[in-house]
């Protein structure tokens, strides 16, 4: 076994090590021709010096025995510098007959009309990467019968035409990368002999066509990303074996079918992204077959019916987004299967970090099992029909919670006055909850709070002094539509603490604050103090010496008791 290890190590070293003293003269001449013919104002190819061994030039890799150049990679430089490097001809490549990898990503090839001939010139070429090369044309026909090409990257170009069929005609093809290449029109008609094909990344294009059936017949496909590509119509159904698929993204298209049955057979699927389409129908309980799932995003569709409670049994699931759909029924059904950490010895513990169920028609109360999700960091439950009472027990083990949003629900939080939550959240959005009548003292424990919404929460009385000190770190504050009284002191938010991360928004309308208008930090962009009982300080507020540096764009002061004239 040790002998085999050394053989493998030697073979690896032989192929991939850059070396000295063995560069072939004709290949050095070809590379120097490239340097001479290229427009290189930023001197990207400065290490390519004739007296030096070309195998030691930056971006050049040679075979350790034959000395042949086997890899040319000019993408290792800063892309800002590469934008100045321009190549308009590839005839020099014909001398590099053993080249198996060519990467010129970031180089300007806008005038290289013969770029596809590279594939014909190099019979050993396996990897070709021309990403972000300002390519704008691709021939509809091209003969490449003898090619052994496996990986082709044409991403971030501007073709403005359909993908030609020959691109899918390489029998040895493993992966295609077309992200952001402005391909248009329909996919080429299949079928194609793609027995080794595993990866297609073609997001951010403008196809404006339906998904081709042949694409979903590729039994070895592992990674498919066609998001943001103008696709329309139904998702093909009735396909064959798709069990090797690990990543599927069809997000932000106009797909309008139900969820196809074959999806529930993708037992190795880890990432499922189908957001922002027009999918309808229900999610089958068969989704429990997808035990490898780590991330699900089916948001912004028209999915309906009850939430499949079996989702809670997907123990590897870290991110679940079913927001902005039409799901209904008891929200507790999902949480009751997410048992957090079951008894010792069972080996399973919920991995859920992000949960988005907002903007549906869910009813009922969050069960106590909600508080048994130790890895939960982000929870979005707003705009449902939730109701009921939550206690300290509902938040017991949420030690990693950073973002909690469940506004516009009829929920009540009933905790003791000395409750110290187990979490330190940056965002708490509980607008519409019953948090009063006393001001919620537990907020004082949240030392990382940046966004706070406790509007319309039935809070009565004065705001504690400690809260105005806490406000120095808050960027978004909404305490409107309560019954708050007293004067507002000068906000303790310092301009230095605000930095440049704004905007800062403050909403304190529809309360009973009185006295003088408070001084505000210069970086507040929107301030709503309307419908209160302020009676003084209008002149000093509007004529503050710092007003020239204010970033304030929207100001609401109506419905108060000012007697001063506007200066």
DSSP per-residue codes, 13-59: HHHH---SS---HHHHHHHHHHHHHSB-TT-TTTT--TTS-GGGSTT
Lowest mean pLDDT among 81-85, 318-322, 448-452: 81-85
High-pLDDT (> 90) share of the chain, %: 64
Instruction: State the average pLDDT over residues 47-65.
Output: 91
Q: How far apart are CA 210 and CA 539, in angstroms?
A: 63
Whether residue 429 is contained in a domain is answered as: yes
Q: How far apart are CA 483 and CA 456, in angstroms?
A: 9
Q: How far apart are CA 123 and CA 149, in angstroms?
A: 9
Q: Which of 69, 98, 127 is the last residue of a domain?
A: 98
| pLDDT tens-digit map of 201-220 | 999 999 999 999 899 888 89
Q: How far apart are CA 48 and CA 32, in angstroms?
A: 7
Instruction: State the average pLDDT over residues 404-415.
Output: 96
Q: Give the pLDDT band of residue 71 (cuts 50, 70, 90).
A: very high
Q: CATH number for the domain including 483?
A: 3.80.10.10
Query: In terms of Cα–Cα distance, which of 220, 231, 226, 270 is closest to 247?
Result: 270
Q: Give the pLDDT band of residue 11 (cuts 50, 70, 90).
A: very low
Instruction: State the average pLDDT over residues 420-438.
Output: 97
User: Does residue 432 surpass a pLDDT of 60?
Assistant: yes
Q: How far apart are CA 105 and CA 323, in angstroms?
A: 38
Q: Give the pLDDT band of residue 12 (cuts 50, 70, 90).
A: very low
Query: In terms of Cα–Cα distance, which of 312, 321, 317, 266 is closest to 285?
Result: 312
Q: How far is CA 473 from CA 494, 497, 521, in A?
A: 9, 7, 12
Q: Give the pLDDT band of residue 89 (cuts 50, 70, 90).
A: confident
Predicted local confidence at residue 493, as pLDDT: 57
| pLDDT tens-digit map of 16-48 | 444 445 889 999 999 999 888 888 887 888 889
Whether residue 482 is contained in a domain is answered as: yes
Per-residue b/e over 416-444, b at no fewer than 16 CB within 10 Å? eeeeebebebbbbbbbbbbbbeebbbbbe
Q: Judge residue 51's burial from the number of C-beta atoms within 10 Å of its C-beta, 0-12 exposed, 13-18 middle, 19 or more buried.
A: exposed
Whether residue 61 is contained in a domain is answered as: yes
Give me the DSSP letters along 502-560. --EEEE--SSEEEEEPPP--TTEEEEE--SSEEEE-HHHHHT-GGGGG----EEE--SS
Whether residue 193 is contained in a domain is answered as: no
Q: Give the pLDDT band of residue 13 (cuts 50, 70, 90).
A: very low
| pLDDT tens-digit map of 318-372 | 999 999 999 999 999 888 777 555 444 344 568 999 999 999 999 999 999 899 8
Q: Give the pLDDT band of residue 144 (cuts 50, 70, 90).
A: confident
| Residue 525 lies in domain | 424-567
Query: In terms of Cα–Cα distance, which of 95, 79, 86, 108 is closest to 35?
Result: 86
The first and second tokens of residue 292, run together, are 């490898």
Q: Which residue has the higher pLDDT, 457 or 474?
A: 457
Helix (H, G, I), strand (E, B) or coil at 9: helix
Single pTM value for the model: 0.88
Please provide the average confidence, as pLDDT, over all residues in the chain: 87
Q: How far apart are CA 184 and CA 41, in angstroms?
A: 34
Predicted local confidence at residue 90, as pLDDT: 86
Q: Give the pLDDT band of residue 87 (cuts 50, 70, 90).
A: confident
Backbone angles phi, psi at 289, to 5 degrees: -70, -20
Whether residue 522 is contained in a domain is answered as: yes
Helix (H, G, I), strand (E, B) or coil at 370: helix
| pLDDT tens-digit map of 501-512 | 555 899 999 999
Instruction: State the average pLDDT over residues 86-104.
Output: 89
Instruction: State the average pLDDT over residues 160-181.
Output: 94
Predicted local confidence at residue 10, as pLDDT: 35
Query: In terms of Cα–Cα distance, which of 45, 32, 116, 28 is closest to 82?
Result: 45
Predicted local confidence at residue 508, as pLDDT: 97
Predicted local confidence at residue 548, as pLDDT: 60
Instruction: State the average pLDDT over residues 96-121.
Output: 89
Whether residue 325 is contained in a domain is answered as: no
Domain count, the chain: 2
Lowest mean pLDDT among 247-261, 403-417, 473-487, 530-544: 530-544
Query: In terms of Cα–Cα distance, which of 284, 288, 283 is closest to 269?
Result: 288
Q: Which of 98, 113, 140 is the last residue of a domain?
A: 98
Is the Cβ–Cβ distance between 389 and 412 less than 8 Å? Answer: yes
Predicted local confidence at residue 16, as pLDDT: 42
Whether residue 303 is contained in a domain is answered as: no
Whether residue 389 is contained in a domain is answered as: no
| pLDDT tens-digit map of 319-331 | 999 999 999 999 9
User: Does residue 79 surpass a pLDDT of 60?
Assistant: no
Tell me which DSSP letter residue 75 carries: T
Q: Which of 83, 98, 113 is the last residue of a domain?
A: 98
Q: Judge residue 283's burial from the number of C-beta atoms within 10 Å of its C-beta, 0-12 exposed, 13-18 middle, 19 or more buried.
A: buried
Is the Cβ–Cβ distance between 397 and 422 less than 8 Å? Answer: yes
């Amino acid at each position: 076994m040790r002998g085999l290890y050394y053989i493998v190590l030697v073979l690896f070293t032989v192929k991939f090590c850059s070396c000295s003293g063995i560069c072939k003269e004709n290949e050095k001449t070809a590379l120097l021709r490239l340097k001479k013919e290229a427009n290189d104002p930023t001197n990207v190819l400065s290490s390519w010096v004739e007296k030096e061994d070309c195998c030691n030039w930056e971006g050049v890799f040679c075979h350790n025995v034959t000395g042949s150049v086997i890899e040319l990679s000019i993408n290792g430089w800063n892309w800002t510098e590469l934008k100045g490097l321009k190549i308009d001809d590839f005839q020099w490549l014909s001398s590099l007959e053993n080249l198996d990898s060519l990467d010129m990503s970031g180089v300007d090839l806008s005038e290289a009309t013969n770029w596809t001939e590279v594939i014909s010139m190099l019979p050993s070429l396996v990897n070709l990467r021309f990403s972000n090369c300002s390519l704008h044309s691709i021939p509809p026909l091209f003969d490449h019968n003898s090619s052994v090409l496996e990986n082709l990257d044409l991403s971030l170009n501007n073709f403005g035409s359909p993908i030609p069929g020959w691109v899918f005609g390489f029998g040895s093809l493993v992966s295609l990368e077309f992200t952001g290449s402005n391909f248009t029109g329909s996919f080429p008609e299949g079928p194609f002999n793609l027995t080794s094909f595993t990866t297609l990344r073609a997001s951010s294009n403008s196809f404006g066509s339906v998904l081709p059936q042949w694409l979903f017949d590729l039994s070895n496909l592992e990674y498919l990303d066609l998001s943001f590509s103008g696709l329309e119509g139904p998702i093909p159904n009735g396909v064959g074996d798709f069990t090797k698929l690990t990543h599927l993204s069809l997000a932000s298209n106009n797909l309008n079918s139900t969820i196809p049955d074959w999806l529930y057979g993708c037992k190795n699927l880890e990432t499922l992204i189908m957001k922002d389409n027009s999918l309808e129908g229900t999610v089958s309980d068969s989704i429990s077959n997808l035990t490898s799932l780590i991330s699900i995003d089916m948001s912004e569709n028209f999915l309906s019916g009850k939430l499949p409670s079996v989702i809670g049994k997907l123990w590897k699931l870290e991110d679940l987004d079913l927001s902005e759909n039409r799901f209904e029924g008891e929200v507790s059904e999902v949480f009751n299967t997410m048992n957090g950490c079951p008894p010792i010895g069972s080996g399973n513990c919920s991995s859920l970090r992000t949960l988005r169920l907002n903007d549906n028609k869910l009813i009922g109360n969050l069960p106590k099992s909600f508080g048994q999700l130790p890895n939960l960091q982000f929870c979005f439950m707003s705009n449902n029909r939730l109701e009921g009472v939550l206690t300290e027990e509902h938040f017991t083990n949420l030690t990693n919670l950073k973002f909690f949003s469940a506004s516009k629900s009829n929920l009540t939080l009933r905790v003791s006055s000395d409750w110290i939550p187990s979490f330190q959240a940056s965002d708490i959005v509980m607008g519409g909850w019953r948090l009063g009548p006393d001001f919620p003292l537990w907020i004082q424990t949240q030392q990382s709070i940046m966004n706070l919404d406790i509007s319309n929460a039935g809070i009565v009385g004065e705001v504690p002094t400690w809260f105005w000190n806490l406000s120095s770190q808050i960027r978004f504050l909404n305490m409107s539509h309560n019954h708050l009284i007293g004067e507002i002191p000068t906000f303790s938010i310092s301009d230095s603490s605000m930095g440049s991360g704004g905007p800062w928004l403050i909403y304190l309308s529809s309360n009973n604050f009185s006295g003088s208008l408070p001084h505000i930090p210069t970086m507040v962009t929107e301030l709503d103090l309307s419908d209160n009982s302020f009676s003084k300080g209008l002149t000093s507020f509007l004529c503050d010496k710092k007003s020239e540096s204010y970033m304030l764009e929207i100001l609401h002061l109506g419905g108060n008791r000012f007697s001063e004239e506007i200066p």
